A and B are shown apart, each in its own frame.
Chain A
Amino acid sequence: MTYITNGFTLKSWLLTKDHKRIALMYLIAVSVFFLLGGLYAAAIRLELLTPQSDLLESGSYNKVFTQHGVIMVFFFLIPAIPAVLGNFFLPIMIGAKDLALPRINLLSWYIYMIGGSLTLYALMQGGVDTGWTFYTPYSTTFSNGYVMAVGLGVFINGFSSILTGLNFIVTVHTMRAPGMTWFRLPLFVWANYATALVMILGTPVVAITILLLALERVGHIGIFDPSIGGDPILYQHLFWFYSHPAVYIMILPSMGVISELISNFSRKKIFGYEFIAFSSIAIAVFGFLVWGHHMFVSGQSMYAGMVFSFLTMVVAVPSAIKMFNWTATLYKGSVSYDTPMLYALGFMGLFLIGGLTGLFLGSMGLNVHLTDTYFIVAHFHYVMVGGTVMGYLGGIHYWWSKMTGKLYSEFWGKISAMLVFVGFNLTFFPQFILGYQGMPRRYAAYPEELQVLNIFSSAGASVLGLGLTLPVMYLTHSLIWGKKAPANPWMLPGLEWRIPSPPPTENFESTPVVTWEAYEFGEENGLDLDEARKRDLATV
């Protein structure tokens, strides 16, 4: 009996403590939010097709980009990989029956749903126009949108994130199977562990910040109001103390997925395992020291700006370590170009651009020119979409057969991976140029001479949209008509490939004893490399 056939009632899903079922519930919820955020993005690109603000007037445009940001950041990017893929595979990859605290895992899903519903309610009532950052004093004093309701939604949602992180930390510490030492953990587990640290240490700060914002909005005490002795920049400090590390909550798990994909689809032990593992931890730690680079032009002191600018350069080092190690893993590997690998290679290209432009922006002098322009928008979309979404889609394709027991269409998979890559670049690369030419973000209208590049961008968005719609269709199709997946379709050594697809409720018949290193390809693991090569050749 698999975990899917273990009960068919609604109750058996809604009250389940099985991490795999909770992961699927998260998958559905997160997908709905992604779709919604995508619709808002479509509205933005449609509006920017013409220089005039004609489709949306400025007020509605403010609301549309705010809601795009809030939904995508808090309800898609942050939970996507940890709560779906991490929830499903972290216990399996370390040889555990479940997460250490299954009830808290279910609770985190409900908290997510409550926070999400509250936010959706606020959006239906009229939404917010503050930008996803809720900067004061606009959000506390002037905005007449539903700041309180959305803020409360984000506040509640934060605890879902905290509980997931807490669960991961405990699980990795106490639930590893015999023989599964720290340095035998798959890198996806390391990445999720580092993410969990950030979730625990950062998320409570944004919770308290939003609480302060709400109290300020109710009471008008003036803590963020400079005219009566408060300081709006304090809000920014507290907000970015979480929200910069939150970027690493989004990107770290994705990097974990990519480490899995690069090594497994090169059929080669990953190069520099320890370096990749520790660079995840380093990113998690250094990520807390750089938040001020969001505030170079906010009025923080020049000295603080210099320190934050310098530290921003430092945080690039562990990211670069990962890139170099992945590249070295590819070298002389037996690379196959299955759909997940296409996403992984796409990630490497896009994240490289996203990361390097991050260095441009982290340099204080250049930042003054580029801040609040489309250059920023392009940069963080290269990291968030080019990084997180590519990793997420790669992971979903990679583990789809294990999660559902069905094989998706490899042909359509490859088509969609290419469309996403091409569409993405067409959407966001012109925005670098637009930003450099001075087009500010968050405006519904722009000078006419910038229209050509904006049309490119909007056209690219429709290609990207098509590329993202295809997986919904062929993955859903595979659920019903897909071929039944074998336990190990790609002949890989990880623990998750040694159990049936889909896995039984208890994951393992008996607790596994791990005697091999991570990513160890070889016949002693019952993996016939030649067999796998033949299979790859047959699919080319």
Chain B
Amino acid sequence: MAEHHDIEHTEAHKEHIGLPGYFAVFGVLVVGTILTYFVATIDLDSILFPGANTLVALLIAFTKMTCVILFFMHVYWQSKMIWLSAVAGFFWMAIMFAYTMQDYLTRVTGTFNP
């Protein structure tokens, strides 16, 4: 039983990225957190365009999330099914956002709070 199992999961596979890898990902996450904290104090909205602050914050958050999902949660080494379910969750949330907002962003003014 065990032999059969180990053939499928080679030793390299089971170790995933190994200790240095985990600490590297951890480093990225910490840097991302500190970065997002300080970028928020710069008025990118005026320097670049309105909403730039939020965009940068979200980009950093997405990067951090991707690191956690791929390496801490081992999705990078997983079957297509796991990839699919990880993507599907966010895709469906995006559906909910998009189709709700297509209503809110196209409302006639005044109906919300007369």
Contacts and interface: CB of A to CB of B under 8 A. Distances in A.
Contacts of B108: 301
Contacts of A303: 102-103, 106
Given A226-B112, A229-B113, A307-B102, A301 B107 contact: yes
A39 B50 CA distance: 58
A292 B112 contact: no
A136 to B, nearest CB: 15
Interface string A208-243: 000000000000000000100101011001000100
B113 A237 contact: no
Contact of B92 (A201, A233, A234, A302): A201
Nearest to A233: B103
Nearest to A303: B106
B92 A288 contact: yes
A359 interface: no
A-B pairs with lowest CB-CB distance, top 4: A304-B103, A301-B106, A303-B106, A300-B103
A534 to B, nearest CB: 46
A304 B92 contact: no
B94 to A, nearest CB: 11
Contacts, number: 43
A173 interface: yes
Given A241-B96, A288-B95, A231 B112 contact: yes
Given A173-B81, A226-B113, A231-B112, A237 B106 contact: no
Nearest to B88: A201
Contacts of B81: 173
B100 interface: yes
Given A237-B103, A304-B102, A304-B103, A299 B111 contact: yes
Interface residues of B, number: 18
Contacts of A231: 112
B49 interface: no
A308 B103 CA distance: 10
B112 A301 contact: no
The contact size tier of chain A is 20 to 34
A132 interface: no
B48 to A, nearest CB: 29
Interface in B70-114: 81, 88-89, 92, 95-96, 99-100, 102-108, 111-113
A404 B17 CA distance: 54
Contacts of A288: 92, 95
Contacts of B88: 201
Nearest to B79: A173
26 contacts: A201-B92, A205-B96, A226-B113, A229-B113, A231-B112, A234-B100, A241-B96, A288-B92, A288-B95, A289-B95, A291-B99, A292-B103, A301-B102, A301-B103, A301-B104, A301-B105, A301-B106, A301-B108, A302-B106, A303-B102, A303-B103, A304-B99, A304-B102, A304-B106, A307-B102, A308-B99
A173 B79 CA distance: 12
A307 B89 CA distance: 23
B103 A289 contact: no
Given A301-B107, A304-B106, A289 B112 contact: no
A173 B82 CA distance: 11
A226 B113 CA distance: 6
Contacts of B107: 300-301
A292 B89 CA distance: 21
A316 B100 CA distance: 22
Nearest to A295: B103
